[in-house]
């Protein structure tokens, strides 16, 4: 999935002639804290609500000094790059430009969340298992073999770890709700099971986190 596939059409960028007051009103309407400033098709930068409050809100945003110059993604960038830059710059939206560096639109945190919520790895029936593994012992081939030996398949996976940690967490989603046999097989092969969730528990946990994030973005 690339950036151009999830560009939002609901939020328009700011023009240099828009005032700080107008920008804050748009941010409030769409529950974001950042907006791109565009002159015709040229991306000038990204303004935050903090930037606005440091200036006269009655003045045009084109006269403001910006704390963020031009963070952006290309329309051909993968969604993982979108997520990385959103996190790196602590943005609620990020502009998207094409090969000619012309402004194409923006992607919000909510757009990214909604994309993942619609993917098969989230929507298909299944369960979650979190394994704790030594960094040097990690092998997705072996993990897949164990799951498939019980007649199941892995729908998705991801790894989390601290940079200098010797242990990593491997989270896998399996296309089965009853996974006790799979857990027993992992334990037989000396895997440490840090957590497991059936679909209902997982969805409730995901919904709680989603609601918390949406509440945070609404502040």
**What are the pLDDT digits (tens) for 124-173?**
778 899 999 999 999 999 999 999 999 999 988 888 887 778 899 999 99
**What are the pLDDT digits (tens) for 21-73?**
999 999 999 999 999 999 999 999 999 999 999 999 999 999 999 887 789 99
Residue 214 Cα to chain centre, angstroms: 13
Token pair, residue 181, equals 């046999």
Give the whole-angstrom CA distance, residue 102 versus residue 139. 42
**What are the pLDDT digits (tens) for 81-128?**
999 999 999 999 999 999 999 999 999 999 998 888 777 566 677 889
Q: What is the pLDDT of residue 121?
A: 63
Residue 213 pLDDT greater than 80, yes or no: no
**Domain covering 3-115, topology:** CBS-domain (3.10.580)
**What are the pLDDT digits (tens) for 183-205?**
999 999 999 999 988 766 656 66
Pairing verdict, β 167-174 and 103-108: unpaired
Domain boundaries, the chain: 3-115, 120-199
Contact status, residue 77 vs residue 3, Cβ threshold 8 Å: yes
The 10 Å Cβ neighbour count of residue 110 is 19
Contact status, residue 175 vs residue 196, Cβ threshold 8 Å: no
Residue located via tokens 């909510």: 110
Whole-model pTM: value is 0.69
**Domain covering 120-199, topology:** VC0802-like (3.30.2130)
Q: What is the pLDDT of residue 100?
A: 95
């Amino acid at each position: 999935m690339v950036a151009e596939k999830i560009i939002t059409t609901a939020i328009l960028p700011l023009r240099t002639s828009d005032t700080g007051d107008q920008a804050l009103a748009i941010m409030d309407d769409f529950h974001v804290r950042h907006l791109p400033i565009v002159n015709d098709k040229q991306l000038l930068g990204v303004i935050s609500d903090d930037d606005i409050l440091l200036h006269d809100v009655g003045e045009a945003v084109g006269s403001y000094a910006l704390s963020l110059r031009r963070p952006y993604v290309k329309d051909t960038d993968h969604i993982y790059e979108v997520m990385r830059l959103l996190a790196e710059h602590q943005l609620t939206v990020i502009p998207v430009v094409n090969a000619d560096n012309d402004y194409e639109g923006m992607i919000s945190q909510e757009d990214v969340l909604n994309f993942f919520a619609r993917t098969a790895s989230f929507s298909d029936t299944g369960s979650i298992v979190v394994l704790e593994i030594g960094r040097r012992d990690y092998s997705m081939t072996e993990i897949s073999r164990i799951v498939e030996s019980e007649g199941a398949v892995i729908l998705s996976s991801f790894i989390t770890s601290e940079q200098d940690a010797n242990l990593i967490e491997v989270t896998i989603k399996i296309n089965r709700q009853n996974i006790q046999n799979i857990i027993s097989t992992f334990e037989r092969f000396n895997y440490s099971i840090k957590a497991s969730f059936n679909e209902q528990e997982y969805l409730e946990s995901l919904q709680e986190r989603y609601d918390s994030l949406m509440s945070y973005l609404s502040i």
